[in-house]
Structure 1
């Protein structure tokens, strides 16, 4: 990894001053100083650590992660030592591959992919550049690592795996009369499939019926939601990027039917979902920044275990609660975070 030392900078300044003096004897003292400063700035920029951040689509959850990563890097003292190149794939998987190829071609020092698909694309594109992923719920199932505790290649990061059982426990605490759950998710997202498998297992163990509707893009969400609200007493959707990108659509259909939507992320509750025991993505982003700092300091990726979230939060949307006629007890209000 690149390093900046006082002695290197001083030597560069002295050499540049000498060359400037020889090459342009007619320059004024001010002109010579300006040239030295410009040369020093260029050399400093060339020695900055280049970090490429990519997210699959613009969405509050993903934006929150990205912003927290950048803020976290500043908190880690890297503000003037890194050059951050951010790219958004705009919901197009082919753009993801193009952006990752650009990152590899531009010789990024670290690639930070947000979400599972972007992390998989990055891992497929390079085995040399360190990759620190953010918000990959199930890294093993996604084929990114074989062992969470000891990554064997160039990939590590922070998982946003949710505790599905905690979400369902909260669901039956808030709305105990649920007989049938509806699951809605993108069957092409590995993280979603893994979470839904856990949800099915929970329902089977508790003797709860469930129905499901799968989608491949956000344009299919409204029709899928309409098919579920007539069959289910409540809906569960995990940290699914496709659903999250159009969460207000699902929230609106469920509210019209008077049924709750339990989600895997706080931002999805903020977008109209009812409740979750979910991830605070600001905290996740800062964890990722800490990991990036370790890599930038020269620590081997294989020596940095994949981390999971340190904190989970019970979150309830009080506006949604009112719209679907659910009352929250005073005692529970003391234990949860509320959004409007």
Structure 2
């Protein structure tokens, strides 16, 4: 009899499913690059800090659209079909795809510059429905002030962006308004896919005194191409996101995207604990870091002022 019971127990153990995770958080980004990857990792860290651990009570899913909006829409539909507890889209194109795909599953977007312009929510304070999140709206006026401090004779700023990315189009309008106040002129050059970035950067040579790259996922994913042009032409290149400085831009005043991800994860935790996403205000992420790259500056013929070096959060030699 004992052998029969043991055999039955063994059979039962084999047929029972593994311990089910309590919640599933599905994360997607339009492309993989350091800033978006850091945001994803920050979300996961915040979940772990709140007691949600992968393999124990959390199933954490991640998918990249590899820069393709059609793939972003496909991932959004796939996630909705799987029915996770919360979906976290990183970047404007991924957020638009997910918000279009579901009106029921809670959505917490992040790394979106203009949630209103992207039509993700109608009200930042009271988003309503199933959507909330974090904006990473760049401090554009401060960016221009930094460029002028480093390059006192700058007159024209080249804006390298993807004209098909809503986030970058919104930032262009902000940039033009702030540039006018600062006595600067903006020259545009667009690339709609990563393979066009180097050519778009080259189109600014002779037309701009500096290049400014926003938090544009297409451009940042192919940043090295733009940096190569800037070094060859001795055309100073600046970025809005700090993670791009180590890849060759001179300087950036922006967010630590790991922290942005953590702030996003804290919103996800609030929803997991029972709050309605539509009742949680959309906030602009907190915190700015100044990161400078002395080596990049030298390659582009720029000497960084001691005042800028002295207040930098991080200096890359």
Query: Which bin holds the TM-score, normalised by the shorter protein?
Result: over 0.9
Q: Residue 269 of structure 1 corresponds to which residue in structure 2?
A: 245
Q: Does 1:28 align with 2:6?
A: yes
Deviation of residue 150 (structure 1)? 1.1
Q: Residue 26 of structure 2 corresponds to which residue in structure 1?
A: 52
Looking at structure 1, the residues matched to 70 and 41 of structure 2 have their Cα atoms a distance apart, in angstroms, of 24
Deviation of residue 330 (structure 1)? 3.3
Q: How many residues align?
A: 314
Deviation of residue 35 (structure 1)? 4.3
Q: Residue 338 of structure 1 corresponds to which residue in structure 2?
A: 315
Looking at structure 1, the residues matched to 28 and 179 of structure 2 have their Cα atoms a distance apart, in angstroms, of 36
Q: Residue 165 of structure 2 corresponds to which residue in structure 1?
A: 189
* Residues 96-135 of structure 1 aligned to structure 2 (within 5 Å): 96-135=72-111
Report SS of the residue matched to 2:160: strand
Q: Which runs of 5+ in 2 are unaligned?
A: none
Q: Which runs of 5+ in 1 are unaligned?
A: 1-20
Q: Does 1:77 align with 2:36?
A: no
1:61 to 26, 35, 38: 35
Q: Does 1:326 align with 2:297?
A: no
Deviation of residue 207 (structure 1)? 2.8
Looking at structure 1, the residues matched to 184 and 32 of structure 2 have their Cα atoms a distance apart, in angstroms, of 36
Deviation of residue 122 (structure 1)? 0.6
Larger Rg: 1
Residues 239-298 of structure 1 deviation map (CA, whole Å, 9 limit, x = unaligned): 000100100111110111112112110122222111121111010011111111111111
Looking at structure 2, the residues matched to 134 and 180 of structure 1 have their Cα atoms a distance apart, in angstroms, of 31
Q: Residue 234 of structure 2 corresponds to which residue in structure 1?
A: 258
Q: Does 1:93 align with 2:73?
A: no
Residues 278-337 of structure 1 deviation map (CA, whole Å, 9 limit, x = unaligned): 111010011111111111111111221112111011111111112123223333322112
Looking at structure 2, the residues matched to 34 and 161 of structure 1 have their Cα atoms a distance apart, in angstroms, of 56
- TM-score, normalization by structure 1: 0.87
Looking at structure 2, the residues matched to 258 and 220 of structure 1 have their Cα atoms a distance apart, in angstroms, of 20
- TM-score, normalization by structure 2: 0.93
Looking at structure 2, the residues matched to 285 and 215 of structure 1 have their Cα atoms a distance apart, in angstroms, of 27
- Given that 2:155 and 2:183 are in contact with CA atoms closer than 8 Å, whether structure 1 keeps it comes out as no
Looking at structure 2, the residues matched to 109 and 312 of structure 1 have their Cα atoms a distance apart, in angstroms, of 31
Q: Residue 11 of structure 1 corresponds to which residue in structure 2?
A: none
Structure 1 residues 38 and 290: CA distance shift in structure 2, 3 A: farther
Deviation of residue 36 (structure 1)? 6.0
Looking at structure 2, the residues matched to 211 and 220 of structure 1 have their Cα atoms a distance apart, in angstroms, of 17
Q: Does 1:168 align with 2:144?
A: yes
Report SS of the residue matched to 2:195: helix
Looking at structure 2, the residues matched to 213 and 331 of structure 1 have their Cα atoms a distance apart, in angstroms, of 31
Looking at structure 2, the residues matched to 212 and 101 of structure 1 have their Cα atoms a distance apart, in angstroms, of 34
Greater RCO structure (CA 8 Å; 6+ sep): 2
Looking at structure 1, the residues matched to 208 and 261 of structure 2 have their Cα atoms a distance apart, in angstroms, of 35
RMSD: 2.0
Structure 1 residues 226 and 106: CA distance shift in structure 2, 3 A: same
Looking at structure 2, the residues matched to 34 and 330 of structure 1 have their Cα atoms a distance apart, in angstroms, of 72
Structure 1 residues 149 and 25: CA distance shift in structure 2, 3 A: farther
